[in-house]
Each structure stands twice: as structure tokens, then as C-alpha cells.
Structure 1
Amino acid sequence: MSTDFILETRDLTKEFKGFVAVDKVNLKVRRGSIHALIGPNGAGKTTVFNLLTKFLTPTRGTIHYNGQDITHEKSAQIARRGIVRSFQISAVFPHLSVRDNVRVALQRKLGTTFHFWRSEKSLDVLNGRAMELLETVDLQSFADATTVELPYGRKRALEIATTLALEPEMMLLDEPTQGMGHEDVGRVANAIKRVSANRTVLMVEHNLSVVSHICDTITVLQRGSVLAEGPYEQVSRDPRVLEAYMGTEHA
């Protein structure tokens, strides 16, 4: 495996009682890039994510990360390697402040994650780093707000900040702009672009405008198989992609 690629799958396959959800997917994610998985509903995108983060076990094939075979490792081992994932459903603490959500994520560094008897002031040493992360996703002015009061797009930006708090080498973002208005989409896309410095991002995304503006490489899935791959300019002109992803009237 080339050191240019941080993640590589070889003939990755997942079957469910005879139904092939992911079919011999060979994926190469270049280190330091933003790589998107796109495709119509049911194409296998989230299943690929679940295989990479070991929520599912491959039926066949292998997964390699930094040149090491991680196919049979558990989810916790994958996370310790520096692969951190966000989900389609918002996963923040709604009744904590925005700053405290980030501090909870940072707390792992202190080794006090389960020390519930400690004073909240013990987390004050994390305030500086928490504010740095909030600034990265343009949330510094919301630090004291209760998270439940944030607009949806700001909550998704907060998720990116809490993901960054775990210092991932590779971030897997599942539909980061789903359900957002135009302004929020632009804000979150810009945040992803900013946080991609010095790390790799693999994202499932339906919004082609986001994909075209921030992604280096696009992999198009259809019925569990790779249909096309390359930069957006190349992929967006592929007649097979236009038919599969946008409908036959665009072909």
C-alpha cells in the first residue's frame, strides 16, 4: 500500500442474507484530502462507513489504514487509531452549553472522564482549547449558549468541533449538511474545509454544490459498487453518473 493513501479497501463486500449491499469496493483515500462518497439512496454509502468504523463486519475483503490491516479490529481500536466518525443524527448534549460540549470531548485528555465527583472547575484548564475549536467552526460567539437553542446548522458545526476535540487523523462525516438551509450549508462546508488542514476527511454527502466546492476526489456508488471516481469536474460529466445520480433526463 502506498504511503500516499491513508485508507484503502480491497474488494470490500457486505452481504445481508443474500443481498449484496457493498460489492467489491476498492477505495483509496489520499492522505490529507477531502474525499466524498456520493450516489443515489440505497447505493451503499452508509454501509461502507459502517464497515470502515466496524459497526458492521465485512463478508469479504480487507480494510487497510496507514498500511496496516484493520479488518478484524473492534470499533474502539479503530477510534484509538485516530478514525473518528460523526453520524446523520445530531449527537450533542442539548442542555449543556456549547463550550461544555467541547470540554466534555476534550476531557479524555485529563484522564478524568469517569470522575463524576470532581468539581466542574477542574475542566477550566480546557477552556482555551475549547474556544480555539469553537473559533475553527465559527461558534466562538455562541460559547455560552445552551446547545438546544442553536439552529440546526450550528449544532452540526458543534459536532465537528467535538469531533476535532478527539484529535482525529481521519474524520468520517456522514451527511454533514443534511436538512440545512443554504446559509447553514455554506457555513458548515467552510468549516469542513478549514478543519481539513493536517487531516483527512471522508464524507458521505448528497449536496453536489458542497462536493464540488470542497472535495478533492469523488467516489460514486451505485447498487453497492463503484460506478466512477475522480475529481468533480470529471465525475460530473460521466454519463453513467448523470443517469444514476440525477436521473435519465440529465444523461
Structure 2
Amino acid sequence: MNHSQPPARGDFILEAHGLTKEFLGFVAVTQVDLKVRRGTVHALIGPNGAGKSTCFNLLTKFVQPTRGTITFDGEDITRMPPAQVARKGLVRSFQISAVFPHLSVLENVRVALQQSLGSSFQFWRRVSSLDRLNDRAMAFLDEVGLVDFASLQAAELPYGRKRALEIATTLALDPKLLLLDEPTQGMGHEDVGMVTTLIQRVARSRTVLIVEHNMAVVSKIADTITVLQRGQVIAEGPYAEASRNPLVVEAYMGSETESLEVAHV
């Protein structure tokens, strides 16, 4: 994407202005401005305690802001509850990541697709009535590389594959904006590589906002990064540019400086 051209009206699917959150006098997030451009991967990063999680919770409406506004797809969602926002297409991965361990991989995706039949809560229907969803469910499994695991119980999947299933069920809700919260947390090197490739694949035709601690992952997948420190934005832009900002280097000094350096290699 050409970042040198000024964005046209409507280019940004999610915007936050002056976003502030106070907890009993403690200011966790201060005057955060954020714009997520359609069709890109935007990463929210920062050292421990920078306010990433609070900011992410504000954007996904799990926490109400003390001040500021949030606009999604041209509509003010500042005071909307998270379920209503999710129905509008802003979907956070863990909202539907309650993978049913004793259902098959295919059945898990079919559950997410049930809302397209208007029968999300009609569990008394015959299982065979959901067979019409199989082709669509398999298409999502193909997108995340789980076709060969379709008949396996979800509980039997390795950890990295479970995260892939989680993303597949999220995609089944047809999100306009896919939000991923630390998708590689707790993974070994092999799983990190697999999930990184998966995110790159699903982001080809979607907008993604991601909170991620692994800077090597961020450097590979993010078009734009926003760096937080003590609840404030200290840098924003392409990874190669923003990660070399002196304020960013100083913020990570002594904690994740090595990760920043490795990501440049």
C-alpha cells in the first residue's frame, strides 16, 4: 500500500479520537488517536504496561471509555455494547473462540455459521439440518489449512491448530474488521510460523487489527503499527520506520530491545 498518498474519505474502517480511560484515578489510556485503514493489517504494540490491552478492550467495547469517541464503518459506536458491535462486523477472535472440544472441527465452524440460517439458538433441530452448511464450513477450513482435520475432535488438535480453528470460526461470522488479541502467545517457534502465515493469508481480503508481543511477527504482517507507552501513542507508521523511532527504542530498552533488533534482520 502507498502510505504517501493522503487517504480519501471512507478509507478508514475504525477511528478513535481522544480515547481516554481512567480507573479510580489511574489513567490507563490517554488521548489515543487511531485510524485503521481498510484492507490493511494494523498492529497495536508496546512494552508491558503500555496500555495495549486496555486500548484493545476499549475498541472492542468490553470497556467503556472515560472520554473520547470510536467510529466503526462510519457509525459512532462509543456507547454500544460489544454484542451489538460484533453484529455490525467488528469481531474479536475470543468472542467466538469458545471452541467446543467434543465437537468435530467441521461442526465447530458450522455452529458459527448457524446464524445465517436464523437458527443460532435452535439446538433442538436435527443435526442433519445443518448439512447444507458443510460446503461453506469446509471453505473456511481450507482457508486456514484445516481441511485434513475436519473430522477430528477439536480437543485433539495441537495448540496452534486450535488457534487456526478459532480464526476459522471468527471468519464464519463474516467480519468487516477482524481483531486478534495476542494470537501467537504461548506458542513454540513452529506454531508461531504457522499462525503468522495463516494471518497473512486471511488478511489478503480483509482488514485486521492485531495486538501482538512478538515483534518478528509484527514486522512480517503489519502494514502500519501504533506504538503505545504509558497509555499514550508515541509513534505510528510502517514498521521499519516507527520501530526505529528513538522514543520507541527507549520505550523497549531493557525489556524487548532484542526483539526489535531481531525483527530487523
Tell me the TM-score normalised to structure 1 length: 0.95
Residue matched to 2:178: 171
Matched, 1:21 2:23: no
Query: Which consecutive unaligned segments of at least 5 residues does structure 1 have?
Result: none
1:49 aligns with 2:37: no
- Deviations 1:103-142 (CA, angstroms, capped at 9, x unpaired): 1001110111121221110111111111110110111111
Shift of 1:74: 1.6
Match of 1:4 among 3, 11, 17: 11
CA contact (8 A) 1:88 1:174 kept: no
Q: Report what 2:262 is aligned to.
A: none
* SS of 2:84 mapped into structure 1: helix
- Uncovered stretches (5+) of structure 2, i.e. residues with no partner: 1-7, 259-265
Shift of 1:239: 2.1
- Provide the C-alpha distance between the structure 2 equivalents of 1:68 and 1:133, rounded to a whole number of angstroms: 29
**In the alignment, what sits opposite 1:31?**
38
CA RMSD after TM alignment: 1.9
Corresponding position of 1:154: 161
Choose from 77, 82, 93 the match for 2:84: 77
Distance in 1 (CA, whole Å) between partners of 2:65 and 2:113 is 32
TM-superposition CA deviations, 1:15-46 (whole Å, max 9, x none) = 00000111100001111100000111121111
Contact 1:88 1:176 in 2 (8 A): no
Deviation for aligned residue 1:248: 7.7
Seen in structure 2, the aligned counterparts of structure 1 residues 88 and 248 have a Cα distance that, compared at 3 Å, is: same
Percent identity, aligned pairs only? 69
Query: What CA deviation, in whole Å up to 9, does each residue of 1:148-187 have, x standing for no partner?
Result: 1111111001110000000000011000111111111111
| Paired position in structure 2 for 1:106 | 113
Deviation, 1:67, is 2.1
Residue identity opposite 2:244 in structure 1: R
Aligned to 1:167, the other structure's residue is in SS state coil
**Distance (whole Å) between structure 1 residues aligned to residue 82 and residue 95 of structure 2:** 18
Q: What is the 5 A alignment of 1:131-142?
A: 131-142=138-149
Which one is further off, 71-80 or 129-138?
71-80
How many residue pairs get matched? Answer: 251
Q: Whole-Å Cα distance in 2 between the matches of residues 249 and 72 of structure 1?
A: 35
